[in-house]
Chains A and B, each alone.
Chain A
Amino acid sequence: MKARVHVTLKPGVLDPQGKAIGHALASLGFGGVGEVRQGKFIELEVAETDPDRARAAVRDMCEKLLANTVIENYTIDLA
């Protein structure tokens, strides 16, 4: 099955890239855009077919490598 992992900066962690994107959007004339936060999207092919076990394995991957939990949160979607 496929696991889709979103990694996002925790609230309160400065995101200069998100800020720059926000400024670029404003200079292109897009109004009404508030704070912009940039994250990462990682798609994994996992051999495990049991959803609970797959989720547990991907969570372990997130904790150990895919996310830095000092500064980032992550969410896992299985499909």
Chain B
Amino acid sequence: MKAAVVVFPGSNRERDVCAALERSTGRKPLVVWHRESELPDADLIVIPGGFSYGDYLRCGAMAAHSPVMREIKERAAKGTPVLGICNGFQILTEAGLLPGALLPNRTLKFHCKDVHLRVESSQTLFTHGYETGQTIRVPVAHHDGNYFADDATLDRLEADGLVAFRYCTPDGEVTDAANSNGSARNIAGIFNETKTVLGLMPHPEDATDPLLGSTDGKPLFDGLVSALAGGR
């Protein structure tokens, strides 16, 4: 599987996601600078976490309009899977590839800790390495992770099975206390309509090695490889 990791000024998790991808694929992903208007051929496009453009105006707003995003939108429309993590999720919503927006955490604090997530469906490219309803532990590191969308959009996301992950207790209960950033309906990650674009605030790439305290993120990358490798 050939993965392309897109880097903006202020991205800072590209090394983490490259390491996670390499652990699963056995090869280094391509790293693409945001000024490229032509993306190399890739089976997966990843937009990593960080603080692109210093979070100016709104988190992800500047990156969403950079030249490489036009190409990413075209690839996504043709079905190339796109994974946006943390700031990458914010960029995907700002670019209109995913619905809703990420507001400041309701606590107004930067959250840097492990959280538990409930996998809402295992029937996707990204999550088939998990069981539906499985609880996983992965870190978060964000200030603006409070997912917002209007009720009609949230209802549509739920009806169409487009909620990927929800914040939950270690036992898998979706409670308000487990939802520290205040996200609508505990949403931690969502898919687009074709389930080929995933955006999530937590960092599965930072839970792919025992040294990091959890390997619960690894099935996501392993699953992508088995779905997309096609012998490559």
| A residues apposed to B, CB below 8 Å | 13-14, 16-17, 20, 64-66, 68, 70-71
CB proximity to A under 8 Å, residues B87-112: 93-94, 99-101, 103-108
Inter-subunit contact B108/A66 (CB<8 Å): no
The dominant DSSP class at the B interface is loop
Interface size class on chain B is 20 to 34
- B window 120-151: CB within 8 A of A: 146, 148-150
Taking the complex as formed, is B57 at the interface, i.e. its CB lies under 8 A from any CB of chain A? yes
- In the assembled complex, the CB of B90 is this many whole angstroms from the nearest CB of chain A, namely 10
Given contacts A66-B57, A68-B58, A70-B101, contact A13 B107 (CB under 8 A): no
List B contacts of A71 (CB < 8 A).
101, 103, 148
Nearest opposing residue in chain A for B146, CB measure: A14
Is there an interface contact between B106 and A68, defined as CB atoms closer than 8 Å?
no
A14–B101 touching, CB < 8 Å = no
B217 interface residue (CB < 8 Å to A)? no
A65 in contact with B57 (CB, 8 Å): yes
Task: Give Cα distance in the complex from A45 to B49, angstroms.
Answer: 33
The residue of chain A having its C-beta at the shortest distance from the C-beta of B104 within the complex is: A16
Measured in the bound complex, the distance between the Cα atoms of B216 and A13 in whole Å is 33
B153 closest partner in A (C-beta): A70
